[in-house]
């Protein structure tokens, strides 16, 4: 990494962040340092500083940055969207990533944007407990999203069996957020002929793909919710994959959309062992973790943009089994790290990105 690389990134981000020059340079060091060193560990990032300062001095500078700097809650969202090119619509994937630091549980609820080429964290909540998120936390995260973006830019919200519940699904339906969410086999529904049955009993003879419509009975003061289902057997017929959507569609269509949920699992791998080694952090404070996750999101967006610029309209090469030889992320990661080693980011990062006014503006 060279001083020129830091200056280029600082010039790119300065219109978008309310930081002085010293703090902005430190943020840029963290962004480029975690890409170059393949870790978010501040001790290792400190060795990437191109100046004459001692490593210990740079490390203390990084510590002070995370102690003192406070940015708006969703400060990275506008930068991420500007970097990936303002797609007209996208899929949203909701999931948690968690690990332990000593006896401390690090637990982050992440809302990621997925397009044909990109999978990038957009908004997140650092949870103060281990285990699943609750309904209030999920609703609060989606409300934050809807304050910044119009609902029309959501092609589908995708989530696994952890993210269920009457209040949660009714909220999404009332907010007109299209969704495809996997339900548990023991979920009780009301069939069109009025019977109350568990899904596993209703689908006991399911072979191939099955599509049907049923109602989720209202509980705890919530209204009934009519849902459209796609179902099929997986794992050699031992388990049912049951996906529900409030949008009228065939069972095969719902299942096909739900397959894109796996993108967020790939994103977590990009952020962890296959890329930036997020679990190397020693930060425990929720505010500092929130800031670190924002910097991570900017780094991932820059890497994905580098892949898109390299490949243009092409796709990565595929092997004989049909899978990519390198993912979009890995392609951009290698290109970006090579450019950092050569000290020349020209053509890798743009000279400027538009300053988006996100408040209810969608991505137009």
Q: Specify the CATH superfamily of domain 79-264.
A: Transposase Inhibitor Protein From Tn5; Chain A, domain 1 (3.90.350.10)
The most confident of 84-93, 201-210, 269-278, by mean pLDDT: 269-278
Domain borders along the chain are: 79-264
Q: CB of 41 within 8 A of CB of 277?
A: yes
Residue 359 has pLDDT above 60, yes or no: no
Q: CB within 8 A of 328, min separation 6: which ones?
A: 117, 118, 119, 304, 307, 308, 316
pLDDT for res 246: 93
Give the residue, 77 or 51, on which the prediction is more confident.
77
End-to-end Cα separation, the chain, in angstroms: 35
State percent of the chain over pLDDT 70: 98
Distance CA(95)–CA(263), nearest Å, equals 11
- Dihedral of CA 113/114/118/121: which sign? positive
Task: Read off the tokens for 46.
Answer: 């400190």
Confidence of residue 358 (pLDDT cuts 50, 70, 90): low
Question: Could you read off the pLDDT of 137-165 as tens digits, one per residue?
Answer: 999 999 999 999 999 999 999 999 999 99
Residue 5 has pLDDT above 70, yes or no: yes
Angle, vertex CA 287, rays to CA 75 and CA 265, nearest 5: 70
Confidence of residue 363 (pLDDT cuts 50, 70, 90): very low
């Amino acid at each position: 990494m060279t001083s020129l690389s830091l200056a280029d990134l600082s010039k790119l981000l300065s219109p978008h962040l309310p930081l002085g020059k010293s703090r902005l340079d430190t943020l840029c060091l963290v962004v480029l340092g975690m890409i170059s060193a393949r870790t978010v560990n501040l001790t290792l990032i400190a060795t990437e500083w191109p100046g004459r300062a001692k490593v210990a001095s740079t490390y203390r500078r990084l510590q002070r940055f995370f102690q003192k700097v406070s940015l708006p809650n969703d400060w990275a969202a506008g930068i991420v969207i500007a970097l990936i090119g303002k797609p007209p619509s996208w899929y949203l994937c909701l999931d948690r990533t968690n690990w332990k630091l000593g006896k401390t549980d690090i637990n982050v609820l992440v809302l990621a944007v997925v397009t044909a080429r990109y999978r990038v964290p957009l908004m997140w909540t650092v949870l103060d407990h281990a285990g699943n998120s609750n309904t209030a936390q999920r609703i609060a995260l989606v409300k934050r999203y809807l304050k910044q973006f119009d609902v029309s830019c959501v092609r589908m919200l995708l989530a696994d069996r952890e993210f269920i519940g009457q209040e949660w699904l009714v909220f999404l339906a009332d907010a007109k957020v299209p969704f495809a969410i996997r339900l548990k086999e023991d979920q009780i529904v009301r069939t069109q002929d009025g019977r109350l049955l568990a899904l596993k009993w209703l689908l006991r003879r399911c072979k191939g793909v099955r599509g049907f419509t049923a109602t989720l009975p209202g509980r705890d003061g919530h209204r009934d919710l009519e849902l459209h289902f796609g179902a099929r057997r997986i794992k050699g017929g031992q388990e049912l994959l049951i996906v529900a959507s409030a949008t009228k569609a065939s069972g095969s269509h719902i299942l096909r959309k739900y397959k894109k949920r796996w993108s967020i699992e790939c994103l977590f791998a990009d952020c962890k062992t296959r890329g930036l080694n997020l679990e190397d952090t020693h930060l425990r404070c929720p505010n500092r973790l929130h800031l670190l996750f924002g910097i991570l999101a900017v780094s991932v967006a820059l890497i994905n943009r580098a892949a898109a610029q390299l490949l243009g309209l092409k796709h990565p090469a595929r092997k004989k089994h049909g899978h990519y030889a390198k993912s979009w992320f890995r392609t951009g990661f290698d290109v970006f790290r090579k450019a950092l080693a050569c000290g020349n980011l020209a053509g890798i990062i743009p000279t400027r990105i538009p300053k988006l006014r996100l408040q209810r503006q969608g991505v137009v």
